[in-house]
Structure 1
Amino acid sequence: MPQKTLLLVTVGNPPSTLVNSLQEPLATHMGVSAVVSRTALSSPAYAFNKDRSQYHCNAIMRRLGTLLEDAPQELVMGVTDADLFVPDSPFVFGEADRESKVAVMSLYRLRQGAEGEALRRRVQVEAVHQAGHLIGLSYCEDARCVMFFPQTPQDCDRKQLGPCNVCRNELNRLNR
């Protein structure tokens, strides 16, 4: 089975050590070969909503989607330090659109009460979660599954780095 490839792109100034730490868990748990892009996008001022003091996911995802046009990778995920939102939520840790094959995730709220290894694990959990959506997985009701919908950083702490058995079976079916 050929592996899907995912282009990881920094948006703003997330620490490169955190971005580089995503490659192994993405390969291990989602079967995705992740490549850190040499192209970095600047802070997404174009996506800033002054009424909310946050950055709109969809604007960032549209910009990220243009990077797939000239890249050999099939999927792209932006990693940012900006506080993200979608209109119907006060915030999001990330967003993925499987149709456009684009995702974005933020470190901003994952940093609350975490640093070092705890922060690295939260970021890895969220990256694996977003990659799961890109591949075709939906949300899971098992609070320990990586595909569970997190509403707090502590929800991410409770989640496993990989999918539960039900989601793993679905992942295997999708990869056939």
Structure 2
Amino acid sequence: MPQKLLLLASLGGPPPTLLKDLEEPLATHLGLSAVVSKAVLSRPDYAFNKDRAQYHCNAILRRLVTLLEPGQAMVLGVTDVDLFVPDSPFVFGEADREAHAAVVSTAKLRAGVSADQLRRRVQVEAVNQVGHLLGLSYCEDSRCVMFLAQSPGDIDRKQQGLCNPCRNELAKLRR
């Protein structure tokens, strides 16, 4: 079975090497090939909500979908802006299975950490969001990458990979 191709896109100013650093964990843990988009999108000002001083995920996801080219199954955007969805004070990322698009933000992940720690946090969240695109739900195992993180500490405790039940679920979804 051929691997699905994931497009990685930069929005705003995340560190340039960060997208390239996502390729290996996505291939290892989800069996996806990833390619970095040549297009670099500017800061998503169109998604800014002045009342919250944050950026609305849904508007960003709609824009990301337009980047997909034939042969690319889904897109993951990485941004440095603070994200939100209406029912939550903030999110580390968001995925829309139907649109085949996800976004991850470094905004709440970068405070007081080294470049290596930031890279690992973004890798964990990228695998989590793309896992949702593939059909996986949240997991109750706090060490599983599919666990719902509510703080950077939760992300630090998670592994980059799937627990056995989630790995089995992904195998079922691929059949």
Length-normalised TM-score, structure 2? 0.98
Give the ranges of 4+ consecutive aligned residues of structure 1 lying more than 3 Å apart after TM superposition. Answer: none
Conservation of the 8 A alpha-carbon contact between 1:47 and 1:56: yes
Q: Which residue of 1 aligns with 2:4?
A: 4
Tell me, what secondary structure is at the counterpart of 2:109?
coil
Q: 2 CA distance for matches of 1:139 and 1:155?
A: 13
Tell me, what secondary structure is at the counterpart of 2:65?
helix
1:40 aligned onto 2:40: yes
Length-normalised TM-score, structure 1? 0.97
Note the C-alpha offset of 1:174: 1.1
Structure 1's unaligned 5+ residue stretches are none
Kindly provide the CA deviation profile for residues 95-135 of structure 1, in whole angstroms up to 9, marking residues without a partner as x. 00111100011001011232221111101000000110000
Tell me, what secondary structure is at the counterpart of 1:79?
strand
Q: 2 CA distance for matches of 1:166 and 1:18?
A: 29
Structure 2's unaligned 5+ residue stretches are none
Q: 1 CA distance for matches of 2:115 and 2:51?
A: 32
Matches within 5 A, 1:1-176: 1-68=1-68, 70-176=69-175
Q: 2 CA distance for matches of 1:121 and 1:51?
A: 31
Note the C-alpha offset of 1:175: 1.6
Query: Which deviates more from structure 2 when the two are superposed, residues 71-80 or residues 142-151?
Result: 71-80
Note the C-alpha offset of 1:173: 1.1
Given the superposition, is the C-alpha separation of residues 71 and 14 from structure 1 closer, same or farther in structure 2, using an over 3 Å criterion? farther
What is the percent sequence identity of the aligned residues? Answer: 69
Q: 2 CA distance for matches of 1:169 and 1:5?
A: 21
Aligned pair count reads 175
